[in-house]
Structure 1
Amino acid sequence: MEDGVSGSSGKMATDQQDAQNAIQREILIGIRVTAQLTQTQLSQKLGHPQSYVSKYEAGQRKLTLIEVREIALCCGVSLLDFVAQFEQELKLSEG
């Protein structure tokens, strides 16, 4: 029975992380679009191939905090503003 309980809470944690990752992706896409950058243009600013942007926007690649900061800055958004927007969206999603 203990396995069922830990498995259940593990699933909830994974679901919560998936939801948070989706919010992060939505914000990153939004700031790129607001900055009027294509995936190719952003990837050039970052010094990565276009597939780098495509993969994290599609949820196929996780990002470090340092990478999120670099992406945000390339889109004209500070890390603090990104985090504030993330927290706001997180609160809205939690109802």
Structure 2
Amino acid sequence: MNKSIYTEEYRLFLLRLRKARSESGLTQVQVAHLLKRHQSYISKCESGERRIDIIELMAFARIYGKNLDYFIQKDSGVSSP
């Protein structure tokens, strides 16, 4: 049995995080620059390799022009790739 370390909710959260960046028209490099981080930080956040705390999520939301609700809504509104 293949067991994931992430819940379905977290998987959907990661999809929303990537979708928000895509909709904003920004690259990982551009977001990293705005956050004063390396591009690898953005990549790790988006892939789930690095967990995001609420303060970091607020920064992403501000950059992407989204409300926090967008990232934590129960109904995903995001289709799986």
After TM superposition, the score normalised by the length of structure 2 is 0.79
Structure with larger Rg? 1
Query: 2:46 aligns to what?
Result: 57
1:68 to 57, 71, 76: 57
Distance 1:80 1:20 in 2: 14
What count of residue pairs does the alignment treat as equivalent?
Answer: 75
Structure with greater helix share of residues: 1
Query: 1:89 aligns to what?
Result: 76
Moved over 2 A (4+): 14-18, 80-83
Relative contact order (alpha carbons < 8 A, sep ≥ 6): 1 or 2 greater? 2
Mapping of 1:3-82 within 5 angstroms?
17-82=6-71
The two structures, once aligned, show a CA RMSD in angstroms of: 2.1
| Contact 2:21–2:64 (CA under 8 A) maintained in structure 1 | yes
